Chain A
Amino acid sequence: MAVKVMIPTPLRPYAGRQASVSVEAQTVGEALDALTGQFADLRRHLYADGGRLRSFVNVYLNQEDVRNLQKDQTPLRDGDTISIVPSIAGGRSC
Chain B
Amino acid sequence: MPETIEKTKHAAPAAPVSLSKEEVLRYSRHLIMPEVGMEGQLKLKQAKVLLVGSGGLGAPLALYLAAAGVGRLGLVDFDRVDFTNLQRQVLFGTSDVGKPKLEAAKRRLQDLNPEIQIDAFETKLTSENALDLLRPYDIVVDGTDNFPTRYLVNDAAVLLGKPNVYGSIFRFEGQLSVFGLADGPCYRCLYPEPPPPGLVPSCAEGGVLGVLPGIVGSLQAMEVLKLILGNGDPMAGRLLLFDALEMTFRELRLRKNPDCPLCGSNRTIHQLIDYYEFCGVRGEEAPPPSVEVPQMGPRELAERLKRGENIFVLDVREPHEYQICNLGGILIPLGDLPRRVQEIDSAAPVVVHCRSGARSAQAVDFLRKAGFRRVWNLRGGILAWSDEVDSSVPKY
Contacts and interface: CB of A to CB of B under 8 A. Distances in A.
A23 to B, nearest CB: 19
Nearest to A13: B205
A58 B147 contact: no
A86 B288 CA distance: 20
B46 interface: no
B172 interface: yes
Interface stretch (B1-9, B93-101, B238-246): B238-246
Interface in A7-23: 8-11, 13, 19
B251 A63 contact: yes
Chain B, interface size category, equals: 35 or more
Contact of B252 (A10, A85, A87): A85
B287 interface: yes
A45 B171 CA distance: 18
A57 B192 CA distance: 10
B335 A13 contact: yes
Interface in B323-356: 335, 355-356
Given A88-B169, A91-B171, A68 B255 contact: yes
B206 interface: yes
Interface stretch (B21-29, B107-115, B196-204, B221-229): B196-204
B207 A90 contact: no
B195 A94 contact: no
B217 to A, nearest CB: 12
Contacts, number: 100
Given A85-B239, A90-B145, A92-B146, A64 B195 contact: no
Contacts of A54: 195
A89 B252 contact: no
A80 B168 CA distance: 26
B172 to A, nearest CB: 7
Interface in B129-145: 144-145
B253 A91 contact: no
B168 A90 contact: yes
Contacts of A60: 252
Contact of A55 (B146, B168, B191, B207): B191
Contacts of A10: 170-171, 200-201, 205
Contacts of A9: 170-173, 243
Contacts of A90: 55-56, 144-146, 168-170, 208
A92 B245 CA distance: 20
Contacts of B218: none
Nearest to A88: B170
B239 A87 contact: no
Given A11-B200, A65-B255, A87 B145 contact: no
Interface string A77-88: 000000101111
Interface string B177-205: 00000000000001111110001110111
Contact of B173 (A8, A63, A65, A93): A8
Contacts of B195: 54, 56, 86-87
B150 to A, nearest CB: 6
A63 B55 CA distance: 31
B356 A91 contact: no
B250 interface: yes
Contacts of B201: 10, 88
Contacts of B172: 9
B185 to A, nearest CB: 10
B49 interface: no
Q: Which 4 A-B pairs have the closest CB atoms?
A: A90-B145, A93-B206, A91-B208, A94-B203
Interface of A: 8-11, 13, 19, 45, 54-56, 58, 60, 63-65, 68, 83, 85-94
Interface of B: 55-56, 144-147, 150, 168-173, 175, 190-195, 199-201, 203-208, 239, 241, 243, 245-246, 250-255, 287-288, 335, 355-356, 358
Given A55-B193, A88-B170, 9 more contacts: A9-B170, A13-B204, A65-B252, A65-B253, A85-B241, A91-B56, A91-B208, A92-B206, A93-B203
